Amino acid sequence: IGAEGGKTSGSCDSGYSCAYSSTISWKSENQPVPKEKDPRLIFERLFEGTRAGESKQMRANRLKFSRSILDFALDDAKRLQQVVGQADKRKLDEYLTSVRELEQRVQRTSQDESTSTKKMTKPDGIPDSYRDHLRLLADLLVMAFQVDATRISTLVFANEGSNRSYDFIGVPEGHHSLSHHRNDPEKQEKIKKINRFHTEQLAYLLKRLKSIQEGDKSILDRTMLVYGGCIGDGNRHDHNRLPILLAGGGDGRLNPGRHVQYPGKTPLMNLYASMLDRFGVQDNMHGDATGMLENI
- Domain ranges in the chain are 67-149
**Whether the Cβ atoms of residue 230 and residue 239 lie closer than 8 Å to each other:** yes
CA–CA separation, 260 vs 258, rounded Å?
6
Confidence at residue 8, expressed as pLDDT on a 0 to 100 scale: 72
Least-confidence region, from 39-48, 55-64, 165-174, 194-203: 55-64
For residue 211, pLDDT over 60 is answered with yes
In this model, does residue 116 exceed pLDDT 60?
Answer: no
How far apart are the C-alpha atoms of 275 and 289, rounded to whole Å? 12
Task: Give the pTM.
Answer: 0.77
The pLDDT of residue 90 is 77
Average pLDDT in the chain:
83
C-alpha pair distances (Å), 55 with each of 35, 63, 86, 126, 196: 19, 12, 43, 17, 39
Residues 6+ apart with CB under 8 A from 144: 46, 150, 153
What percent of the chain has pLDDT above 90? Answer: 47
Contacts (Cβ under 8 Å, ≥6 apart) of 38: 123, 124, 125, 126
* Whole-angstrom Cα Rg for the chain: 21
Q: Residue 179: enclosing H or E segment and its boundaries? A: helix 175-179
pLDDT band per the 50, 70, 90 thresholds, residue 142: very high
Check whether 247 has a pLDDT greater than 80.
Answer: yes
DSSP strand E in 26-140: where?
26-28, 31-32
- So what's the pLDDT on residue 167? 97
Strand-strand pairing, 213-214 and 245-247: unpaired
For residues 39 and 10, the answer to whether their CB atoms sit within 8 Å is: no
pLDDT value at residue 63: 58
Interval 82-109 mean pLDDT: 71
5 φ, ψ to 5°?
-80, -145
Which of the given ranges, 34-38, 217-221, 276-280, has the highest pLDDT on average?
217-221
